[in-house]
Structure 1
């Protein structure tokens, strides 16, 4: 049976529902504000570095080729020089830089690796060279023609 109140009528049950109409109204107003103000906002310009050409190619380039088995291969002017462990790399590179004319800072060192070599290995090689005081260290970038 239905419950009766003091006057003899039925009592209304309260609903536990959220009224969504005010929420939808607020969201539509915000949408309109953003649609109007978006074209008026200035766009950010990102200045990306460009790759330039060197004035003169270096006479001597030392390339460190990272291999999978904790070893590296040294190449001087695109000719294979030596394969050695990472621990021996710093002193060998410093020796090769010292042999060059114009001082050690003039000889760039380029690190190259295949795609399947872990990135941590490349970073480790860079860290070893940095701790040894090698100034000019770069990464090899190969572009594919097509």
Structure 2
């Protein structure tokens, strides 16, 4: 029998049992933060891809962006002259009735006209005249910011 056992110390086991460890009662935030950062990166990459509408090659200008909280009605004019409200094709006689149906604020609704840069200027002016003759006064052209 060894001296330590003879004295009743029981070797190293007894000391480990006698010592109480404090339980950590805090939430580990590291996995939560990691998940949130991954989601942030995913949404930052995916957000530019979520633009809906008719694909157009818009002209570029040096005009600044408009500050608009509400989502405006958007008419798109393709190179062929075809007009779209959102992604639905329209004939000229359908433009005003469909705008009236989609406008939440009536004639005070903002209407954006997006025209492909290869479409004839006369066609864009014709569509804008149809919209303004329908009672809409807040009509604007949409362009892309200049690459410079």
Give the TM-score, by structure 2 length: 0.51
Q: Which residue of the partner structure matches residue 84 of structure 2? A: 73
Please state how far the C-alpha of 1:128 moved relative to its aligned partner.
Answer: 0.5
Cα RMSD of the aligned pairs, angstroms, is 2.1
As a proportion of its length, which structure holds more helix? 2
Please state how far the C-alpha of 1:116 moved relative to its aligned partner.
Answer: 0.8
Contact 2:100 2:107 in 1 (8 A): no
Secondary structure, aligned partner of 1:65: strand
Secondary structure, aligned partner of 2:98: helix
Instruction: Tell me the number of residue pairs that the alignment of Structure 1 and Structure 2 aligns.
Output: 86
Equivalent residue runs for 1:36-51 within 5 Å = none
Please state how far the C-alpha of 1:58 moved relative to its aligned partner.
Answer: 3.1
Label 1:60 to 1:107 Cα distance change in 2 as closer, same or farther (>3 A). farther
Q: Deviations over 1:47-88 (max 9, x none)?
A: xxx85753xx2322111101244421112xxxx3x1111221
Give the TM-score, by structure 1 length: 0.51
* Large movers: runs of 4+ above 4 Å: 50-53
Equivalent residue runs for 1:1-146 within 5 Å = 54=67, 57-75=68-86, 80=87, 82-97=88-103, 100=104, 103-146=105-148
Please state how far the C-alpha of 1:111 moved relative to its aligned partner.
Answer: 0.5
